[in-house]
């Protein structure tokens, strides 16, 4: 009776834990979003990088997370696949959940000091998000892998510089036109006030209501008239 009650209590939690796919290679494209040529190129690139550095990067895509958040799912998948060398914890998992429109880069403890949270955020925001919004999943994933390899090889400067450039607000022509309009209006408004107040104070009087100031003649009290 007690066992049945506990089973009912923890059943909702169990249903939120999505099934984990099998590790079938360095690229596990269960969502089918990576074209064949890119998948082959990624597999070669990741194999060459692992042979040279011993760090292991795996790319995984899946249709959805079945209601589970991507952070705990990526952590479970990383641990289930035992990425990286034993005792080194030098693995990286790039995970994309297509239908949930979510992505995550899970980094092993042994690489957290090199591939930092800042780097993974820049890779996701600057490489993957723009490409994915344009429908280019293959290109976004390839670019992300290129940047991860670049950082893990000890060259994070280009990624960080790109991130700084992308943080600068884009040039807005509407703001420029508005600023010009306000500047012209301010010049006309305050200029007319100055022309009526300053000449009598600082200028030389030429006659009734006429003053010479700054090489020009002013008649502050004269009003304009019109007709046809």
Q: Reply yes or no on domain 18-167 having CATH 3.10.310.50.
A: yes
Q: How confident is the model at residue 158, as a pLDDT? A: 87
Q: How confident is the model at residue 52, as a pLDDT? A: 96
Residues 183-206: tens digit of each pLDDT: 776 676 666 666 667 777 777 776
pLDDT for 169 beyond 60: no
**What whole-number distance in Å separates Cα of residue 16 and Cα of residue 10?**
10
Higher pLDDT pick, 157 / 188: 157
Q: How confident is the model at residue 131, as a pLDDT? A: 97
pLDDT for 165 beyond 50: yes
Residues 80-100: tens digit of each pLDDT: 999 999 899 999 999 999 999
Q: How confident is the model at residue 162, as a pLDDT? A: 76
pLDDT for 155 beyond 60: yes
Higher pLDDT pick, 192 / 41: 41
Across the chain, mean pLDDT equals: 83
Please, what is the angle between helix 137-152 and helix 157-167, to 10°? 130
Higher pLDDT pick, 50 / 7: 50
Q: Taking the domains of the chain in order of start, what are their residue ranges?
A: 18-167, 173-218
Q: How confident is the model at residue 17, as a pLDDT? A: 66
Residues 13-40: tens digit of each pLDDT: 444 567 899 999 999 999 999 999 999 9
Question: What would the mean pLDDT of 198-217 be, rounded to a whole number?
Answer: 70
Question: What would the mean pLDDT of 130-138 be, rounded to a whole number?
Answer: 97
pTM: predicted TM-score of the whole model, two decimal places: 0.67
């Amino acid at each position: 009776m007690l066992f049945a009650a506990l089973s009912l209590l923890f059943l909702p939690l169990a249903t939120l834990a999505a099934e984990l796919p099998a590790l079938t290679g360095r690229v596990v494209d269960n969502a089918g979003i990576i074209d064949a040529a890119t998948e082959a190129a990624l597999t070669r690139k990741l194999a060459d990088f692992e042979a040279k550095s011993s760090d292991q990067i795996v790319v995984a895509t899946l249709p959805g997370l079945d209601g589970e958040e991507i952070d705990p799912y990526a952590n479970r998948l990383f641990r289930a696949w035992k990425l990286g060398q034993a005792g080194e914890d030098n693995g990286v998992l790039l995970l994309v959940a297509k239908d949930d429109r979510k992505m995550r880069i899970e980094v092993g403890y042994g690489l957290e000091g090199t591939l930092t949270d800042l780097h993974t955020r820049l890779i996701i925001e600057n490489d993957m998000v723009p490409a994915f919004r344009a429908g280019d999943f293959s290109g976004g994933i390839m670019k992300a892998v290129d940047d991860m390899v670049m950082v893990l090889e000890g060259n994070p400067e280009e990624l960080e510089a790109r991130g700084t450039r992308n943080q600068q607000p884009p040039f807005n022509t509407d703001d420029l036109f508005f600023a010009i309009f306000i500047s012209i209006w301010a010049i006309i408004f305050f200029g007319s006030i100055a022309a009526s107040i300053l000449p009598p104070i600082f200028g030389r009087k030429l006659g009734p209501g006429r003053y010479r100031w700054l090489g020009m003649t002013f008649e502050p009290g004269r009003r304009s008239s019109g007709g046809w």
